[in-house]
A and B are shown apart, each in its own frame.
Chain A
Amino acid sequence: MKVAQELRQGSTIRIGDVPFIVMKAEFNKSGRNSAVMKLKMKNLLAGNIVDTVLKADDKVDDIRLERVTAVYSYSDGDNYIFSNPETWDQIELTEEDLGNSINYLEEEMTVEIQYYEETPVSVELPTFVEREIEYTEPGLRGDTTGKALKPAKLITGFEIQVPLFVEQGEWIKIDTRNNTYVERIKK
């Protein structure tokens, strides 16, 4: 059992007889209103996408999917191709299957691919990844508080918010659960 608030992209749950994988999870709380989770989920049996809202404290059955380690190879335009380094089997996933993971995908990157029965259904990223800033506006060296933020673009084109003191070309650690900057790192 899990409470809805714990659900993240890649979480797998069962409602009734139907297994779902969470593709997007958004938490909201307003004053005295119930804290709520808005979820975009894929029905793992029918393949359709559903939007649903749960109270943050609603209990859901979590299910554990098979995981296989794989390496990202390339995209053929429609699909994203991974390979299993042990069997050399090719694994294909769609953009929809990848969800937020697509923002951090780089060639030769090792990921965990989740299977529901015989079908690959999603990619699980490491909680933290290290990425180089491809572009950001010049920073303010004096500002070390980290409170003020600015956009910074990664090689994949994905933008995240970083503190003003972070410079173009620097490497940063990112929390992939919520796409947030953690710290600068030396490479």
Chain B
Amino acid sequence: MIPKTIDIFCEVIDNYGDIGVIYRLAKELKRVYGKVRIRIILNKLEELLKINPKAKDLDYQEIDNIIYIKKYFLKKDLKKLGVSDIIIEAFGCNIFKDYIDIAKEKSKLWINLEYLSGEKWIEDFHLKESLIDSKNLKKIFYMPGFTNKSGGIIVDETFIKRINYSKEHKYKVLGKYFPNLSFKDKIVGTIFSYEKNFENLLVELNKMDKNTVLLLMGDKTQKSISKILKNNLIENYENFIKYDKVFIKNMDFLSQENYEELISASDFNFTRGEDSIVRALVLGKPFLWHIYLQENKVHMEKLNAFIDRFEESIDLSNTEKDIFKKYKKLLRNYNDRDENSLELGNENYSVLFDNFSVIENICKKYSIFLNEKCNLVEKLKTYIKGF
């Protein structure tokens, strides 16, 4: 099948994760399919306005050849605006009935796109048909994951280009954002997290020979670190807070493109949520993932499943295996919590910084695997072509 039109539905709740994934998916689908009409239907635009500076608070708008429509507006003008050949229902958002009634007559493929998961069982559910009352429209489940048999992750070409550029021009990229600070001989890291106590991290960074630059993303990260700094001797240096050997910068909200540029130019990235962890993995540099907290520690099951997939996807030398064992422990301790709080955790960050080059090599290997075997849009395109 060669689609002419694609609609992506997403219900944004309270953060940038879901819209981040959808925005990226739409851009990559546009790149891959060229002339296909792509529309994103959203319940609200506040989050989009932040991650895409070109967006305005309008019911209907076209930005970079992608159409954005508020859900109520599509509902109101459904007869005029119509449905599309392919419908992507993101994260179980439940598309309104009137649309589905028309789609059952006029659309061809309805893709129920789920959240990313490392759990093995998703492979069994991936691309399985979900029977519906229609002769024209087929509904399937699409399960993104970290394996070849799953739906994969979004490895978009624009990001790959950005990575290559930022790796080659690290200082130029960083200099664009921070013209007054020299980054030579400094380690640069980003932190994007939920509430968390980073005291151990700062202690560890101050033990190192080199200076570190920490770029803090998001309110929760910035508040978490500022509470520690409040009780310590700090100074101001060229718009950075200097805490002994660590230069700290609270970043303003970044567009998706600027975030990508900065993490690509950084040496390590602590991320949170689905879209940013995938960026860190594709990037292939040392990372920590602050996974979304869930009741009864379900997030730990999800993390462990991810770690299992990570480990089984790459070949490691004996030295790498020993270090990976410690790195896994760090990933688990970094996330083991009943609630997001500023309570001091058990994580030992020296594992990361004492074995930095080995962990970097492990991450690079995993990145190659993901890029080659787990490209979501390529997989989707292949499925649609054969549909």
Mark the stretch among A45-53, A73-81, A138-146 that contacts chain B.
A45-53
Q: Are A54 and B130 in contact, CB atoms less than 8 angstroms apart?
A: yes
A180 within 8 A of B: no
Q: Are A55 and B128 in contact, CB atoms less than 8 angstroms apart?
A: no
Cβ proximity bits B114-140 to A, threshold 8 Å, 1 near / 0 not: 110101011011001111111100000
Q: Are A53 and B130 in contact, CB atoms less than 8 angstroms apart?
A: yes
Please, which residues of chain B bring their CB within 8 A of the CB of A32? 91, 115, 292, 294
Bound-state Cα–Cα, A145 to B124, Å: 34
Contact A31-B294, Cβ < 8 Å, known A16-B133, A50-B131:
yes
Q: Are A36 and B294 in contact, CB atoms less than 8 angstroms apart?
A: no
Contacts of A31-84 to chain B: CB distance below 8 A = 31-34, 36, 38, 50-55, 58
B37 within 8 A of A: no
Cβ proximity bits A126-142 to B, threshold 8 Å, 1 near / 0 not: 00000000000000000
Q: Which one of B92, B125, B292 contacts A53 once the chains associate, using CB atoms below 8 Å?
A: B125
A1 within 8 A of B: no
Please, which residues of chain A bring their CB within 8 A of the CB of B124? 38
B222 within 8 A of A: no
B interface, by DSSP: helix, strand, loop or mixed?
Answer: loop
Q: Are A52 and B129 in contact, CB atoms less than 8 angstroms apart?
A: yes
Q: Which residue of A15, A32, A55 has the most chain B CB atoms within 10 A of its CB atom?
A: A32
Bound-state Cα–Cα, A51 to B141, Å: 12
Please, which residues of chain B bring their CB within 8 A of the CB of A31? 115, 117, 292, 294, 298-299, 301-302
How many of chain B's residues touch chain A, expressed as a range?
Answer: 20 to 34
A119 within 8 A of B: no
Please, which residues of chain A bring their CB within 8 A of the CB of B302? 30-31
A178 within 8 A of B: no
CB distance from B119 to the nearest CB of A (A): 5
Please, which residues of chain A bring their CB within 8 A of the CB of B134? 16
Cβ proximity bits A20-34 to B, threshold 8 Å, 1 near / 0 not: 100000001011111
Contact A33-B130, Cβ < 8 Å, known A28-B125, A55-B92:
no
Contacts of B278-298 to chain A: CB distance below 8 A = 292, 294, 298
CB distance from A20 to the nearest CB of B (A): 8
Please, which residues of chain B bring their CB within 8 A of the CB of A34? 91-92, 112, 114
Q: Are A30 and B129 in contact, CB atoms less than 8 angstroms apart?
A: no
Please, which residues of chain A bring their CB within 8 A of the CB of B125? 28, 36, 38, 53
Q: Which one of B114, B131, B132, B133 contacts A33 once the chains associate, using CB atoms below 8 Å?
A: B114
Bound-state Cα–Cα, A31 to B225, Å: 28
Q: Are A33 and B121 in contact, CB atoms less than 8 angstroms apart?
A: no
Bound-state Cα–Cα, A55 to B131, Å: 11
Q: Are B122 and A30 in contact, CB atoms less than 8 angstroms apart?
A: yes
Q: Which one of A16, A30, A52 contacts B130 once the chains associate, using CB atoms below 8 Å?
A: A52
Bound-state Cα–Cα, A53 to B132, Å: 10
Q: Which one of A20, A33, A38 contacts B115 once the chains associate, using CB atoms below 8 Å?
A: A33
Please, which residues of chain B bring their CB within 8 A of the CB of A54? 130-131
CB distance from B293 to the nearest CB of A (A): 10
Q: Which residue of A15, A36, A54 has the most chain B CB atoms within 10 A of its CB atom?
A: A36
Bound-state Cα–Cα, A32 to B274, Å: 11
Bound-state Cα–Cα, A180 to B130, Å: 28
Contact A55-B298, Cβ < 8 Å, known A28-B125, A30-B122:
no
Q: Are B133 and A15 in contact, CB atoms less than 8 angstroms apart?
A: yes
Cβ contacts A to B, 7 pairs, < 8 Å: A32-B115, A33-B117, A33-B143, A34-B92, A53-B125, A53-B141, A55-B112
Excluding A15-B131, A55-B130, 12 further A-B contacts by CB distance (< 8 Å) are A30-B119, A31-B115, A31-B294, A31-B301, A33-B92, A34-B92, A36-B141, A38-B128, A50-B129, A53-B125, A53-B128, A53-B141
Report which A residues bind B (CB closer than 8 A): 15-16, 20, 28, 30-34, 36, 38, 50-55, 58
- Please list the 5 inter-chain residue pairs (A to B) with the smallest Cβ-Cβ separation, ordered nearest first: A34-B92, A16-B133, A53-B128, A52-B131, A53-B141
